[in-house]
Amino acid sequence: MTWGPSQLATGDDINAGPALMVTIYFDLDGTLTNPKPGITRSIQYALERLNVAVPSEDELVWCIGPPLHASLEKLTGSSELADRALLLYRERFSDVGLFENEAYAGIIDTLTTIAATNQRMFVATSKPAVYATRIVDHFGLRPYFERVFGSELDGTRVDKRDLLRYALDEAKVDPGSAIMIGDRSHDVIGARTNGMTAIGVLYGYGSEAELRDAGAHHICAAHPELLGHCAA
């Protein structure tokens, strides 16, 4: 479901005219790429090494998007085990899981169309920047983005609210003319907390109810629909 005409939170029409420019922040997992095999298999690897019950890949898709340590804590039952699981996860993910991933079909066409309007574009992900940068480079997405914003390995800026605040400050962007595009509630909450327009997408790992309940201004079923909100 897409909510009404293409408007910013202020009520301005994004398509009102060529003079209106917006800055667009894209989530990575579930928005630009589909990381399911790499993330779920790396979680399974960590849990197996810790002798913790290992769910199936499909049973772990809820872990895609939110900060990983919190998900691992739910799976292991303690913060201490989650710390160990995170190190084991990274042991596999950094060499193998990183590339068990694929760019969504047609996403480059969508990015190319948006880029032709000269809007500024960034990646903003809770994933550590050291991994996110390698993924963006691997799939040939780097030319579309000024910078890849991510968390640090020590957990700094893993909360999307903190990450977007930092990304807006670093890029010197007015939140009122900025859009955050993502597939999970934390993308929407992070955007709204910082005064940005939040656009949820349904082809990733969040449901329409999750995005609506979080307060998404618009919801798009497929990424070509983003053009109506982002391409002036």
- Which residues are marked as active site? 27
Give the tokens for residue 108.
């480059």
DSSP character at residue 13: B
In this structure, what are the phi and psi dihedrals at residue 22, rounded to the nearest 5 degrees? -125, 160
> What is the sign of the dihedral through the CA atoms of 195, 174, 156 and 43?
positive
Q: Where are the alpha helices (DSSP H) in the chain?
A: 36-49, 68-76, 79-93, 107-115, 129-138, 160-171, 185-193, 208-214, 227-230
Neighbours of 203 (CB within 10 A): 17
Tracing tokens 């989650």 back to the chain, one arrives at: 82
Do 14 and 8 meet the contact criterion of CB atoms below 8 Å apart?
Answer: yes
Q: In whole angstroms, what is the distance from residue 178 CA to residue 172 CA? A: 11
Neighbours of 209 (CB within 10 A): 9
Query: Which residues share a beta bridge with 180?
Result: 25, 198
Give the tokens for residue 182.
């993502």
